[in-house]
Amino acid sequence: MMHAYFSADQLRHHGQTFMVAGEARPIPEVPERAEILTTAIKRLGLDLRTPDDFGMGPIAAIHAPEYLKFLQTIHAEWKAVGGSDLVVPGIHPFDRLGPYPRSPAGKAGFHMGDTSCPISATTWQSAYASAQTAIAAACQVRDGNARSAYALCRPPGHHASRDIAGGFCYLNNSAIAAQELRLKYDRVAILDVDLHHGNGTQHIFYARDDVMTLSIHADPRDFYPFFWGHAEERGQDAGLGFNHNYPLPLGSGDDAFLAALDRALAMIDHFSADAVVIALGLDASSDDPFGGLAVTPGGFAKIGEKIGGINLPTVLVQEGGYVSNTLAENLFQFISAFQATTAGSPE
Ligand SMILES: [Zn+2]
């Protein structure tokens, strides 16, 4: 039976509002998401566990020391100079060549990419717990206890780079899980099926040839994160040829998504990956409030079946996917089909 991981501490963060089209709107990355996804875990009969605390080591293997300090201390610093209860950036540097900023406003602009990742008094606690959930799932697979595991990560992670939060993300759970797998496996692939390009994950591994990053998403010329996710971005230096993007036109449905998935899975095969992390966003759903792509519950079943078909040690890391009538159903369909395909595999 597949194990799933989740910690109640992950429910403590609630970001409230972010700026869209010049106005403050509710952040859809709400604690309720985790409760809805948990209903799918229970329906699947997965063994739901609270993760152990693996400490800061696996997180510090991905994120910069000053960024980890920032996430833990900025809320108190911000309040001490008269800031509100949520840290939100109001200014960003042209480049990152100057000295490290001293003021809370400067630090916020330096370490936050947009307004969608506000930091409250409880944000660090939830982000840390979400990372521990990913680490627990990765260790379960890496240590040979299971062929696959599911991490119900919330807040999500794939928009967070080495030292910048963004897009509801603080710690890059998928990247942290991949780095844990690297302790055993020589070649690890991260396949991101979230509606949005996994720009943080791409940035973290862009110059590396030991972790291949692949992302299927709505075309960034029309959609968040806007600056990254184009097909021309292939990696740099040793990492050239180890980053692959599959942007899809807005409104694309199951067929276009599955065709891109076939190409991505062929690339993972060509890479001879030893293990894979699936950055499992469910917001490509036709029912998702973001409305960028139009994948059906049956489409998520086919995605799960195809990913199960590559028959590699697999860590499923929850990314996006927002409250809709089919959020739980989409996770159920994906994992059911994934498990049915991998049922005969050796443990
Ligand atoms: Zn997303």
How far is 211 from 202, CA to CA, in rounded Å?
A: 10
CA of 292 to the centre of ligand 1 (A): 10
Query: So what's the pLDDT on residue 286?
Result: 98
How far is 199 from 213, CA to CA, in rounded Å?
A: 10
Question: Using alpha carbons only, what angle is made at residue 81 by residues 77 and 83, rounded to the nearest 5 degrees?
Answer: 85
Q: Is 63 a catalytic residue?
A: no
CA of 99 to the centre of ligand 1 (A): 33
- Extract the residue ranges of the chain whose pLDDT is less than 50: none
How far is 103 from 71, CA to CA, in rounded Å?
A: 14
Query: So what's the pLDDT on residue 250?
Result: 98
CA of 294 to the centre of ligand 1 (A): 13
Query: So what's the pLDDT on residue 343?
Result: 78
84, amino acid identity: S
Cβ within 8 Å of residue 190, ≥6 positions away:
174, 175, 178, 198, 201, 205, 211, 212, 213, 214, 276, 277, 278, 279
Q: Which of 13, 159, 197, 203 is catalytic?
A: 159
> Which of 129, 96, 274, 279 has the alpha carbon at shortest distance from 190?
279
Question: CA quadruple 285, 286, 287, 292: dihedral positive or negative?
Answer: positive
Query: So what's the pLDDT on residue 210?
Result: 98
Summarised one tens digit per residue, pLDDT across range 189-239 is 999 999 999 999 999 999 999 999 999 999 999 999 999 999 999 999 999
Count CB-CB contacts under 10 A for residue 342: 20
CA of 289 to the centre of ligand 1 (A): 11
